[in-house]
Structure 1
Amino acid sequence: MKITILILSVLILSIGACGCGAKPAPLTEFPSFSKIHESSARYDEPAQTDRLVVADATIEIQSLEPDTVHSRVLDMAFAYGGYVLNADNDATSIRIPAVGFKDAIRQIEKLGEVTNEKITGQDVTDSFKDLQVRLNNAEKTRQRYLELLEMAKSINEVLTLEKELERLNREIELYKGKIERLAHLVEYCTITVKTTREIKPGPVSQAFYAVFSGIKWMFVRN
């Protein structure tokens, strides 16, 4: 009976900690893709003012050699330490480290005539901190249940606690996965390059244009 009351108390405290009044866990530095699974003590460090932004760019280019443009973009992905998301005849999407985002865009703009360019950024700082809070609370709750498990005096109490621990373990892994995914999206920016083939006028077209320009010049002169 005592164990049951303690379990209910832990649940109430956990729910209260996840409420709207809970303060976001501070963040001192952006966690890299490889550091997500470090100790939860990491999430209790002093806060920083930097914002976490998921950046994306879509660039449309007109070129006489679209295949060459896509080939250059693919090479650029590996040169910047990134990877290829998608590649076909009309569009290529790559992900590169955020530190090279602006420079990569400048390089891509030199590959042809830019007909359209769109750069967007989504601020995910609050979402990231919220996930940190939830992860911290879940880990602390799991620790309380482990302590209660040592105090269990009946099979029913053990089974009840183990069921709750199993649920918490799934919840913790879910939060860690979301944090890792979000961290990766911030650390690696997405660039999509779309191409259209520039049509170079042939001899007949050039002759027609010359005649048209001459006639137009005569009318303007008169």
Structure 2
Amino acid sequence: MKAAVPPAERKIIYTGTIDLVVSNLDEALPQVEKLVAAQKGYVAKSEVREDSGKRRSATFSLRIPVGGFQPARDGLLALGTPERNAVDSQDVTEEFVDVQARIKNLKEQEDKLNELLKEKRKEEKLDDIIKVSDRIAQVRGEVERVQGRLNYLASMTTLATINLTLREVKDYKPPTAPTFGNRISDTFTESWEALVTFGQGVVLFAVGISLWVAILVPVALALRFGYRRWVRASRPAAP
């Protein structure tokens, strides 16, 4: 009886996205590096920004061994107030197995071509030697290309990725569900702002049109006066 083939180990790419609000960015930054080091990961990319309004933020791309993915996420979430916490997983087991089989077949083909090349060299058939050598080069290039894909899949399934954003807000208060009183206040504020905006629009329109009125009214009066004079002048004189 033929032994059963064990199922392939699942190859899954994990990607986490965390957006945090922190009260002190300077204190949070070293904590991120400490958490990453504790899980034997590394910072693939980082950037700290400060806009004109003195609001500071930082972004990271972290690579963490899969076994430390969840502990690292838990530690990062504890650094502040999460605004976003998402995890995406992509199962690439089938592709991983297919790529491995493709490499095996290509290498077997390469070995056969090398054996054929030895025979052609013994027969000293130059044209055949050149053709087989070209084919070997093509197969070798394909092996390297497919091996690169396998290396990428192995890296992505061994190390998970966490895209982290830290946003500094002093005395941050998480949003809460609005009460009826808050809704009344918000509605009044929105209505007042809309009324002020409308009033400003009316004033701006009046200011903008006043220049045209100052120009067009004298022109219209002059045209009317000229038209009336032309009408009088064109009338036939009384006998």
Q: Same fold (TM over 0.5)?
A: yes
Q: Distance in 1 between matches of 2:41 and 2:170?
A: 32
Identical amino acids, percent of aligned pairs = 23
* Pair 1:159-2:130 in alignment: yes
Deviation of the 1:49 alpha carbon: 4.2
Post-superposition shift, 1:60?
Answer: 0.9
Residues 59-98 of structure 1 deviation map (CA, whole Å, 9 limit, x = unaligned): 1111111232232112222222111111112211210111
Alignment of 1:30-49 (within 5 A): 46-49=5-8
Whether 2:160 is the aligned partner of 1:189: answer yes
Counterpart of 2:196 in structure 1 is none
- Structure 1 Cα separation of the partners of residues 29 and 162 of structure 2: 12
Listed as ranges, the gaps of 5+ residues in structure 1 are: 1-45, 202-212, 217-222
| Alpha-carbon distance in 2 for matches of 1:59, 1:66 | 15
TM-score, reference length from structure 2: 0.62
The 8 Å contact of residues 43 and 63 in structure 2, kept in 1 or not, is answered as yes
Letter of the structure 2 residue corresponding to residue 122 of structure 1? Q
Residue-pair matches, total: 159
8 Å CA contact 1:70–1:91 kept in 2: the answer is no
**2:40 maps to which of 81, 86, 90:** 81
Q: CA RMSD in A?
A: 2.1
Q: Aligned residue for 1:11?
A: none
1:117-136 aligned within 5 A: 117-136=85-104
SS of 2:79's equivalent in the other structure is coil
**Paired residues for 1:1-150 under 5 Å:** 46-89=5-48, 90-150=58-118
Query: Could you tell me the TM-score, scaled by structure 1's length?
Result: 0.67
Question: Which of the pair has more CA radius of gyration?
Answer: 2
The amino acid of 2:102's aligned partner reads R
Counterparts of 1:182-221 in structure 2, within 5 Å, are 182-200=153-171
Alignment correspondent of 1:36? none
| Structure 1 residue ranges, 4+ long, deviating more than 6 angstroms after superposition | none
SS of the residue 2:13 aligns to: strand
Q: CA contact under 8 A between 1:74 and 1:94: conserved in structure 2?
A: no
- Quote the Cα distance in structure 1 between the aligned partners of 2:61 and 2:114: 46
Name the aligned partner's letter for residue 145 of structure 2. Answer: L
Q: 1-side partners of 2:37 and 2:78: how far apart?
A: 18
Equivalent AA in structure 2 for residue 98 of structure 1: V
Amino acid at match of 1:195: L
| 3-state SS of 1:88 partner | strand
Unaligned 5+ segments in structure 2 are: 49-57, 173-181, 186-239
